[in-house]
Chains A and B, each alone.
Chain A
């Protein structure tokens, strides 16, 4: 027979072994398929994430209004568009007011018919929210009749809250108004997605995170294709007895691994299809994902479909290394050379070198000397090095152990004889744990955003800002809010930025009466006509006030201004004083264009709906009023790709659980191998607890060593990752929960081994021979 036909024959024979062989054979193949399948599903999900994000981004930009660069006249194809986003009970609601100016006005994606005045179309999730019992205040804010639904193509995710309302009162943004305020006149949607490049450090982090997750998946797949290895070896020995040569046995082994992993691919695809149905409950920017968006890119899918079976075959060959399959049985080369240290050390060193910037300085938030690939490679090398270091470490450690009670002696001697299987199994845990620790640290480290105003127990503080295109004062607005239900106190001032005449740069200016200024800053005395300065302004400084046209209004900070004014820590003023504080007698803001009225409010802490009343008031006055909850802690993962990272420890935990399952199987197999010795031990009166303890030691020694190594390397990797993005380490003990999981795994494995142990130490073990 020719080469390819020989190969085909042997591979087919291996495949047959994989699916025949009774219940046991099926179980083994099923385990392999499920293990590989979970790994494959994880890989598919991972490669789908960028695709899903891109699909969302595309739809998000498709509904952005496209305004021509030059002013446009009203016509049959124009539409006035004013964003009217709001927040309801902590949930963002995207919205816009629309006013078609002609019969062929453009429609946003997903909207079949433009809503008329007083009408709106809503996303299904918003429709549900409006129907729910606690939406009374939201209904007040959106007093429109629902006439339609926004289709999926107009939404980023299935649970996005969005509406488009018709309005006949919209006015087009006048010349000179700054972009965010007033309605825009547009004739099309779908602004070309302007490249929204990932920030470089995010690329680094995503690369590392993927690598960190990829390693346990690789370990998992590697473990899964080794299930039932003992039995397979014996079967191959039987083949040798009837005349197969050693190359043929290797081909048969490859066939077995291949069919298991191919089955795993199918199972994995199935798992993936099931898993993506849960996409809506996974949030990016607090909006869930459409299952239809979760599609791996073709290249990635093809690579997985090729790499997994090839990897499986390589792993099975690797497992046969050092094993001579002879016709009369399997000979393991027990006398292996001493474990070499140098390459085990080299791997993590090279990995770290790839991660640490050459000049030893962190690149800072926007520094970009490092690519995502380099970071990923560094992280992979570090993890792989740690995994490779463990067998050496365990070997070197147990070689020095002496004495102890019999259970300890049994375990130590066992590990001294061959610690390979134990530490190999544990290195899977190790990689998952080290990865999870570094991510945990990273996430704890990124959790740095503090609320603008800390809760002092006197009630939440919120700020409302309104743009005043032609100037004015804050009195009316302040009164309106003060009269709103749930508001205890409201102070308003006018604020704007003034440019410095000589040096460029801007200084912020706040104008309010003395009573209000006292709320904002520590003032010894105040009468109308006084001026105060913060750290960025000084008396005599010349400023240009906002103005229309070419003529500039100049204003000089009076020499009498009080310097060194500090904000009041205990009240509404925090963060408000950096430039100039002026009383209306010193600086008149009426007729001053492009200023903002800012109202700071203290709400009644006993009224949970106070904030919503404030928002309703704001919406009634002007949908463009921005109500900012200064006590709200913005979630960084809502604003960037952090959610990806947050889901990774969960993924690592899942992987850990899977590795625990495979370790349990390995322990079970190992116990069965030692059936006779165990039964004899029990015959001459060994307590089962002694043997159980030895099993615990035997697992615990490598796991504890592995944990120590995992914590060290995980902390090192986490520190490196944080340094890369210039964040301080906030939680050095982020590893504690992960260590808990690891100990849980030891407990689980031991507990799962106990029934087998009970059975094997019964004298039935002596019987069957």
Chain B
């Protein structure tokens, strides 16, 4: 999961302090794994260096936590690109996909398209596996089947999520 892209995505809604960013992240994605503040700080400095965010202002009193960050145009393009890029189908993909969907909803992007793209990616891999399985021996077949069943599970989750997009949009307040 890319924390940088997630934080960038959160900034799309408007400029925030580093501390607010951490809280927003924890609230939506960090159920059992809250971000360390240091992680936020290092990520933000990397993004600053790459020109994806800028510091909009520093409040009186100094200290790193007082900086207000805003996303740059390059940052928006980067988020865009990240969301549109289907994830490589692999086990335990859900948290990344979930993050992407929520961010898409939050930033007013088409989450259904995102899901469709992911479906197509999954199916492409399934086709390849099916092809390999049909050409291969029994060991190949069994291995491919294992992968196919996992992919199928992902795809089912994608289907279900697609069917529940409206509900999700409401619950994330987008």
A and B touch in the complex (CB under 8 A): no
Interface residues of B (CB under 8 A from A): none
Interface residues of A (CB under 8 A from B): none
